[in-house]
Structures are given as structure tokens and as C-alpha cells.
Amino acid sequence: MGPSGQFLSPSHNLTLPFPLCYKHMRNPVEEASFPMQLAKNIGFYLGIVAASALFLVIEHFTHIEFFLHLAAIPLEVLVAIFIVEKMLERRETKERRRQLLFIKSHMFRTEMRGLFITNFRGLKNPAITMRQIREASLEDLRKMRREAETIEYRSPEEMEEIIREYVKAQPVWANFMERAITYNFENIFLDMIYILHFINDVKAFKERYPDRLFIHEAERNERLMTKMRKVLNDGIQKFLDYAVELKEKQPKVFIDLMTDYEISDGIHRPRP
């Protein structure tokens, strides 16, 4: 809804479009390093191929078979380099994912605990509790995740409370975005950008209409409702994805995490 009292159309954006936002947030030095490194490697690879071709040309004119063996050596070196680089790349990716797993464990256990508890508490279907997650087997967790493809909340007021938790956690999302840049996880970076855009939408609305509920505005605006549902639903789905990963790879950390969540959920749950 605009200042004149008219509702905002789906074409109105309260936040900057992604390309402009990304343009101002990127690190030119880091972005430049990859193509520069690639160009350097290509030059090295071409040099090896040229050396092999040179030995072949010499053999062609001299008919000395020894140069055929020399021509094969650079190609064997090139193949070995490709294999080693691929192994190192996989090892680095695995290590970065392991580090990210522990970072997520810390963030989920501290700054984001209230948000996820509130989000799960608002679920109508599927109705999933922290105790159910803690006691679930790996297969049960995967079943929960499949059921969470379609999510329904108990009421608009419950959704408004979840939205407030997202806004309160804005510094956490910004921090997580920086971690995604550091560890080169583009999909997580894009998720954080989307969430931060949504938070900016909420804050812009609340600045104009502090006494109104954002959920009521979203119900009248298809674009806002789509964005809001994606953010809230993704929160449930990403948490269950993480629970599955943690249960599989770090079961003790999983139990500790979910025990903390269950205790916090019981403390903050309204008494009947």
C-alpha cells in the first residue's frame, strides 16, 4: 500500500533488484582472481601441448622415434595435473562443507534458535515438533522433509510472529551471507540475498504503517505473498535438510542441538 492509500501492485518493488544489489556487494578482487588464475592455467596447458607438438614435428622431419616418446611425456604430465587438481578441488570442497556444517550448527544453536522454534510452532500441516525431530530416525527425517514440500500455517497471526523473528535475525542472515561468499557457496549466497530483500520489504512497510500487520498487506499483494511463503517455507525445509545432514554425519551434534531446541521450545511455549 502506497502513501496515497492505494495498494501496491505486484510490479512495485520495495527493495533493490538483485543485479544492482549484487553489483555493490561483490568483491572485485576476488572476482578477478578466478579468471586471472584460469588464464594463467590455460597458458600453462597450451605450453605443454605446444611442447608435445614440437617433438612431433621434430620426429616428422628427423624420423627419430625417440622424439615420439618425448612428445608423450608432456601429455602424460597434463593428464596427471588434471587428475591431481580434480582431487584437490574435491578435497577442498569437502573441507569447506565440513566447516560450513559446524558454522551452521553454531548459528542454528544460538542466534537462529528462536526463529526456527517459532516457525515450526506455527505449522498446521505438516505438524512437526522439536521432540519428533529429535526422536526421529534418519528415514523418518527424510519423510518429514518430503512432507514439508507443502506447508500450511495455523493462522495469519502465527505467520506475522515468524516474520518478526526473521526481521530480528537480519544481522545473522547478513553474517551468513558473508560466510557463503568466503566459502564460495553461491546457492547459499543467493538464498541470503532473497531473505534480506524480504526483510527490507517488511521493514519498509512497517516504517510506513507501524500499526498494521505485514501479513495482511501480503494477502492483498500476490508478489509479497509469494516472497513471504517462499522465505517461511524455505526456513522449514532448510532446517529439515540440515537435520538430515547432521543426523547422518554428526549424530552426537544432532542430539545435542535438538535437545537444546526441545528444551527452549518447552520454556517458551504458552501454558494451557
User: In the prediction, which pLDDT does 65 show?
Assistant: 77
161 pLDDT higher than 80? yes
| Average pLDDT of the residues in 220-227 | 92
Specify the higher pLDDT residue, 106 or 264.
264
Q: Which long-range contacts link 127-131 to residues 24+ away (Cβ below 8 Å)?
A: 128/236, 128/240, 129/265, 130/258, 130/261, 130/262, 130/265, 131/262, 131/265
User: In the prediction, which pLDDT does 99 show?
Assistant: 67
Read off the pTM. Answer: 0.64
Q: Report residue 48's pLDDT band, with 50, 70 and 90 as the boundaries.
A: confident
User: In the prediction, which pLDDT does 28 show?
Assistant: 38
Cα angle 65, 43, 27; round to 5: 160
